[in-house]
Structure 1
Amino acid sequence: MPRRVAALILAFGLSAGLVACGTPRAPVNGRVPDPPAAAPSLTRVAAQVDVVGARGPLGQASREQVLQAAAAQGKADLLKRQIAAMSSFGDVDLYAGNDTKLLVDGPATFAAMFDAIGKARRQIVLESYIIEDADVAQQLADLLLQRRAQGIEVAILYDAVGSMGTQDAYFDRMRQGGIAVCAFNPVNPLKRSRYHKITHRDHRKILVVDAETGFTGGINISAVYSSGSGGFGSRGPSKPKPKSATPGASASNAASNPASDAKAEEENGWRDTMIQVRGPATRALHTMFREVWAQQHCEGTVASIEPVAGPAPGKQLMRVIPATPQDTENRIYTLLLGSIRAAQRSVYLTMAYFAPGQDMVDALCDAARRGVDVQLILPSRSDFGPVMQAGRSHYERMLQAGVRIHELQDAVLHAKTAVIDGVVSTIGSSNMDWRSFVYNNEVNAVVLGEDFGDAMTRMFDRDRAASKSIDLQRWQDRGLWQRGKEYFSRMFEQWW
């Protein structure tokens, strides 16, 4: 115990010094707009948004028809209220006529991605924070080289820090096969075309095939996803991990063995989510990739291609929200904050890294106090403990406000999803932490309407059944060591 106390004192001193160095900028500037007092008319909502369909931008009458179709799925007033809340933060660009598919865990995601790559006719672009030279990445490289040899244009963009453990030989092999490969913001200044802050990372996960089929979400090209998490999206049940205490049960709950945690991660896989999209929203992902490719001065060009003309592949209404450190305000943050503040019935969040800052915690607590069913699924263990501890520092206040918190068991949680009022669903790369909101390139796909919201809610229910709920009284009984870790991590919350 004396060693632990000494460590805490040292940590507090270091944290105080770091805090004195300054605070990162806030992800939202100025006053946060109040949520709509009531659901506006469909005509008014249509006037506040821009909508792109299969044949281009839509006029007012067509926008009303698209919004009416989404509202007809159910909970029309909630949907109109949520779209009005989005528009209060600025422009809202929507895409109509999309076909969407929810992909749960790595096996289902990799199968869908490989299938799309195998059917490519013109072009494949892939952007990922991590591409590691493990089995799944080797299979991917083999397939991409095969498609390139068949005349398909292929471009790959990976983050230099996220993929730091990958051997150069992996990427060199693809370059030699004619694939355009580019590292985002290399650490070595001699390899940079121009200066970028080293903290600026590309955390996006995007695959676009022929500008027609797109994928985005939280899954990297990594072996940790190969086995699935043991849930309904995996190939089968994962091996049971050794029993360990759950935070909130006793004073010693937060203690962990790094070696056994790493072994458990390999055995049980990671729980994550992606979305597959066909339709106009895919073009936004394609444009995003090409913009970053150009900004990084990557060798070669990525052609701008138009999808084959035809009817809309689906009926889903979507947003695709990018975020970069250069943005005046983080639009993913404002989406989540505005939607939570406007929520009337439910807020269901599943977050791998939860260190959200005061505004977001205030919004969650306020929603719970006004009777909204607010529930969070958060990790019981993490590949980066300080963020998890920073998030836990908010538990007591949220539990007292009526927020229900569950920690996922038997898998490492890496998903970043939300479904709000059953009509706003988001799947993306952005965590609810300051690194995502301030330092990274991120992207979230948002699907509007109750049909997809129902699928998201069912997924949330399955994850909640695999989680352990945190009890307020038992959480208040946690020990000094756990409280100290939370306090220390909270002081660094804006730097993790």
Structure 2
Amino acid sequence: MWWRRSRVRRVLRQVLLVVASVQGATLLALAVVDHRRKKVRKPVVFPRVAPRSVTAGSSEVTVYTYGEDLYRDMLGAIRQARTKIFFETFIWKSDPVGQEFKDALIAAAERGVKVYVIFDEFANLVVPRRFYRFPPSISVRRHPIARLWPGLRNSGRDHRKLMVVDESVAFLGGYNIGSLYATDWRDTHARLTGDIVWDAENAFIDFWNLNRGRRRPALPDVGGLTWQPDMRIHRNIPRNLVYPIRSVYLDAFERASHHIYLTHAYLIPDSDILDSLIRAARRGVDVRIIVPAESNHIVADWLSRGFYGQLLRAGIRLFLYQGAMVHAKTATIDGQWSTIGTANLDRLSLSGNYEINMEVYNADVARQMEEIFRLDSSNTVELTLPAWSRRHAMVKFSETVLTPFRPLL
């Protein structure tokens, strides 16, 4: 009997080795294709909506779909700051746009503004370390690549993009800081004024105090002045094993009765998110999803495509954004509910990273988000089930081979 068990183990090892080899070869081929694709960058042109302010209860929301518009107003807020700036980002490039933000923050600190900066260390490994040298007048926290204590639950990346100035204005959404994002990426960000700014500021304060370590002083933590019935800000906090954004999406999908419009850079849903969208479509909800035809992460594209057949068979409509990377993380449902934030519909965002999303119950905001969705749809090609079924057998095989990597993204 022992030799039979030994032979079975040997066969299993060989099978696993073959599978691993095929997966490795597939990933390598995708990396080569991606490298060649990025070397040939075409001019980027895409439709966009000019920023417009909408009142939501006791707050005001301005939605941005073009980086230059957003950066102009963010830099304007920094240059007008009088008391304090909370600045947090995932990627911060050392290019002209990144340098302009750095210079503006340093200038603010030099005129007496208290400036606090957080950025993710892993996301900026390719950026020269000297770029992140700041004068002592600026309090800086690099979110570390990994921590041994308290273990894996604190290993999430800081994927948030948040800025709060003088307790009067806040910015949050999908935009990182860099020249590429200013003109070549289609993303979505929001400017907030009014009572909701306290929630955004509190989100920064809590993150700073939770992760500041022993050397940095804590920021004052004060209660809010008002409760917000129209808007909420939700935060994923891996260290506390708190991931409300996923629940917010699931609840919104379950409530949908007419339409769900999603725009997401990386669509790799877990089983509950996937089932909730399919159930909505089967009860007659018009579910439409805009995704990039080609994103900046080719492996994420291929993992996402593994879900296309299932979504299309359920009656969900997929639209492939053309000519630019769409990096938005937004949704609007039934003309009443909307969300803008940093969380993608994938496992890394919904159950891994530090994320921040605003949730709005407001028909005017939803109307503006629907207008943006319709304009974005004009720059897409709809993917149909017959067309998707005709893809090459080798493509189908590669998607299957990469399936085990879904939980990693």
Q: Pick from 170, 193, 208 the counterpart of residue 293 of structure 1.
A: 208
Secondary structure in 1 matching 2:299: helix
- Return closer, same or farther for 1:283/1:9 CA change in 2, 3 Å cut-off: same
Name the residue aligned to 1:236: none
CA-based RMSD of the aligned residues comes to: 2.7
Secondary structure in 2 matching 1:348: strand
Which amino acid is 2:373 matched to? F
Q: Pick from 356, 367, 380 the counterpart of residue 454 of structure 1.
A: 367
Matched, 1:205 2:161: yes
- Return closer, same or farther for 1:302/1:150 CA change in 2, 3 Å cut-off: farther
Q: Mind listing any 5+ residue stretches in structure 2 that lack a counterpart?
A: 1-16, 26-53
For 1:462 and 1:11, locate their aligned partners in 2 and report how far apart those are by CA, in whole Å.
44
For 2:116 and 2:302, locate their aligned partners in 1 and report how far apart those are by CA, in whole Å.
38
Matched, 1:363 2:279: no
Name the residue aligned to 1:183: 142
What per-residue deviation string (whole Å, max 9, x for no partner) do you get for residues 241-298 of structure 1?
xxxxxxxxxxxxxxxxxxxxxxxxxxxx111110000122221221221222222225
After TM superposition, the score normalised by the length of structure 1 is 0.68
Cα pair 1:423 1:450 within 8 Å, conserved: yes
> Could you tell me how far 1:184 is from its partner in structure 2?
0.6
After TM superposition, the score normalised by the length of structure 2 is 0.82
For 2:145 and 2:319, locate their aligned partners in 1 and report how far apart those are by CA, in whole Å.
38
Percent identity over the alignment?
Answer: 28
Matched, 1:332 2:245: yes
Name the residue aligned to 1:493: 406
What per-residue deviation string (whole Å, max 9, x for no partner) do you get for residues 316-371 of structure 1?
92110001224555211111111111100000000001100221111111111111
Name the residue aligned to 1:390: 303
Name the residue aligned to 1:152: 113
- Segments of 4+ in structure 1 off by > 6 A? none
Q: Pick from 128, 131, 134 the counterpart of residue 92 of structure 2.
A: 131
Cα pair 1:100 1:316 within 8 Å, conserved: no
Q: Pick from 371, 382, 402 the counterpart of residue 315 of structure 2.
A: 402
Greater RCO between the two (CA within 8 Å, min separation 6)? 1
Name the residue aligned to 1:171: 132
Cα pair 1:349 1:376 within 8 Å, conserved: yes
Name the residue aligned to 2:194: 279
Which amino acid is 1:282 matched to? V
For 2:77 and 2:378, locate their aligned partners in 1 and report how far apart those are by CA, in whole Å.
32
Matched, 1:112 2:73: yes
Secondary structure in 2 matching 1:494: helix
Matched, 1:418 2:377: no
For 1:145 and 1:366, locate their aligned partners in 2 and report how far apart those are by CA, in whole Å.
51
> Could you tell me how far 1:387 is from its partner in structure 2?
1.9
Which amino acid is 2:197 matched to? T
Q: Mind listing any 5+ residue stretches in structure 1 that lack a counterpart?
A: 1-6, 16-69, 74-94, 228-268
> Could you tell me how far 1:144 is from its partner in structure 2?
1.1
Name the residue aligned to 1:436: 349
Name the residue aligned to 1:222: 178
> Could you tell me how far 1:398 is from its partner in structure 2?
1.3
Cα pair 1:316 1:447 within 8 Å, conserved: no
More helix per residue: 1 or 2?
A: 2
For 1:366 and 1:132, locate their aligned partners in 2 and report how far apart those are by CA, in whole Å.
41
- Return closer, same or farther for 1:424/1:8 CA change in 2, 3 Å cut-off: farther
> Could you tell me how far 1:491 is from its partner in structure 2?
2.0
Secondary structure in 2 matching 1:202: coil
